[in-house]
Chains A and B, each alone.
Chain A
Amino acid sequence: MESSVVSINNVTFSYQERPVLEKINLDVPEGSFLALLGPNGSGKSTLIKLLLGLLPLHQGSIHLFGENVKKFRAWHRIGYVSQKANSFNSGFPATVFEVVSMGLFGKIGMFRFMKKSHKQRVMQAIQTVGLDEYTNQNIGELSGGQQQRAFIARALVSDPKLLILDEPTVGVDASSVDDFYELLKRLNREHGITLVLVTHDMGPVTDLVTHVACLNKRLHFHGDTHEYENMDNRELSSFYGHPVHAMDHQHD
């Protein structure tokens, strides 16, 4: 039997008064690759922040690796690339090496320093995303796609079992996006990392993901990729609130 890496039970959340998420139930099985879909403002980032403990959870419960998020401490098992990651201060003077090292800080802990073995891990992560040549370049001097890879490397360096990416390809050109998704596929299939990818474009990831969840305040659909493809357009339209055609996204 598969075990769940993330399990979300009956989560309801609102900022101030306005409800943003209602009664969300969602399980992410180990080794799966979930696409979390939804239009702007549908609560995708909010759900991610709740499960990372960045927002306080008042209704419902979230478990990570079987442990309640409120008690969860093993954050190094989770890699996270936030939606804001590509809007960072691009003048920030940090090399790719330094940025990727940050991913280890939580694991190393307070009052301890980076050891040689940590540095090797950083180099490995940089290699995994194919940025070896840029190790000592300032992050701001890289292209958007390369920066995104650096942030993935930072998320990977602590050897996470779960990787969460919130719209990682915004502002990245199409050819880099393809390479990028190839990388994600490799991480999922070869390294066995469970992936949650937030996106509002299913097109380019249809062949990649194993599961799909459609969110718009409520969870409108959750199933594997087959079920998603067999869902008829009317259901999707009701989800987006306007007519769409599931396989309309032409890619390549």
Chain B
Amino acid sequence: MIADFLQYDFIRNAAFVGLMIGFLAPLLGVFIVVRRQALIADALSHITLAGIAASLLISKQIGAFKMLNPVYLGMAFSVTGSVLIERLRKEYKHYQELAIPIILSVGIGLSVVFISLANGFNTDLFNYLFGSIIAVDSSDVWMVLSILVVVTIAIVLFYKELFLLSFDEDQAQVAGIRSRFIQFLFMVMVALVIAASMRIVGILLVSSLITLPVAASIRIAKGFKQTIWIAILFGETAVITGLFTAYYFDLAPGGTIVLLSALILIIVITWKKYRYAFQRSKEA
């Protein structure tokens, strides 16, 4: 069955990309969630959508632009958005979360304008919104692979700094850590991973792949490193089974993956509850 599943190029592409984002999204997700910034992923994904809509619009006007993968312009928008969020957070020191709805609504606003300029939806855009297996081509595989390599190296190199910064900003400063640089680097990584993920899960669902596995992992893990590993395990499980299910039942992969992530979350929560009840009844 798996051999059958992998015999088509497009499925193989989707499977590679799936494996990579199943690793990347929860990895960054852990750092995002522990800072209580889960919504940042939403803001950035909507800005990414604006970039993609812009790219589709331009290629309608200028034929040569079709050669360029729209994800690149999406990425450019998303990185710009992440820089803007940082600036806004400085501007509103005591209302830092305001940056998120501001960027989110600007992203949607831009997208809607670009889409209407291009005279409405087409299937391409639909695929970006909800994800698709068929749409993944080999240029996507290479792009996601480069992002995987860059982001993984950056996380390994800056693990200490990212960890300390997430836990305690004052202490990070006393330890002489260049917080602004690290924070900037991190936001750029988030922007890249969002752009990488959305081919398969779609823009509207990217943030759930970033947060749901972490939400489940955080319930049961001991320590930060373990939280990361378990989140990745959950992410990969959801992506692999999700792609598989989506292919056989002809469903949108994004939705399937997200629902499976939610299922994992429910199982974890129930298991924890049940386990406590079980322990208590044993003690009684």
Identify the A interface with B (CB < 8 A). 52-54, 73, 75-76, 78, 80, 82, 84-85, 88-89, 91-95, 97-99, 102-103, 105-106, 108, 110-111, 114, 136-138, 154
Does any Cβ of A come within 8 Å of B5's Cβ? Answer: no
Asked whether B222 lies within 8 Å of A102 as measured between CB atoms, the reply is no
Does any Cβ of A come within 8 Å of B163's Cβ? Answer: yes
> B167: which A residues are within 8 A, CB to CB?
88-89, 92, 94, 99, 102
B195 CB → nearest A CB, Å: 27
List B residues 142-183 near A (Cβ within 8 Å): 157-158, 160-161, 163-164, 166-168, 170-171, 173-177
Instruction: Give B120-138 as 1s and 0s: 1 = Cβ < 8 Å from A's Cβ atoms.
Output: 0000000000000000000
Query: Among B12-20, B186-194, B223-231, which stretch is in contact with chain A?
Result: B223-231
> B224: which A residues are within 8 A, CB to CB?
93-95, 98
Asked whether A52 lies within 8 Å of B174 as measured between CB atoms, the reply is yes
Q: From the candidates B166, B175, B222, name the one contacting A138 in the complex (CB within 8 A).
A: B222
Q: From the candidates A98, A110, A111, A154, name the one contacting B163 in the complex (CB within 8 A).
A: A98
> A106: which B residues are within 8 A, CB to CB?
174-177
- Given known pairs A92-B34, A93-B218, A94-B223, the reply for A110 and B171 (CB within 8 Å) is no
Instruction: Provide 16 A-B residue pairs closer than 8 Å at the C-beta atoms, listed in order of the A residue.
Output: A75-B175, A76-B175, A80-B170, A80-B171, A89-B167, A93-B223, A95-B222, A98-B224, A99-B167, A102-B163, A105-B161, A106-B177, A110-B157, A110-B158, A110-B161, A114-B160
The 4 closest A-B pairs by CB, nearest first: A106-B175, A95-B223, A93-B227, A105-B160
Asked whether A102 lies within 8 Å of B168 as measured between CB atoms, the reply is yes
Does any Cβ of A come within 8 Å of B36's Cβ? Answer: yes
Asked whether A78 lies within 8 Å of B174 as measured between CB atoms, the reply is yes
Identify the B interface with A (CB < 8 A). 34, 36, 157-158, 160-161, 163-164, 166-168, 170-171, 173-177, 218, 221-227
Task: Tell me, in angstroms, the Cα distance from A23 to B176 when the chains sit together.
Answer: 28
> B218: which A residues are within 8 A, CB to CB?
91, 93
Q: Mostly helix, strand, loop or mixed at chain B's interface?
A: helix
Of residues B161, B163, B175, B226, which shows the largest number of chain A Cβ atoms within 10 Å of its Cβ? B175
> B164: which A residues are within 8 A, CB to CB?
102, 105
> B176: which A residues are within 8 A, CB to CB?
73, 75, 106
> B36: which A residues are within 8 A, CB to CB?
89
Asked whether A54 lies within 8 Å of B177 as measured between CB atoms, the reply is no
> B221: which A residues are within 8 A, CB to CB?
93
> B34: which A residues are within 8 A, CB to CB?
89, 92-93
> A89: which B residues are within 8 A, CB to CB?
34, 36, 167
Asked whether A111 lies within 8 Å of B157 as measured between CB atoms, the reply is yes
Asked whether A54 lies within 8 Å of B173 as measured between CB atoms, the reply is yes
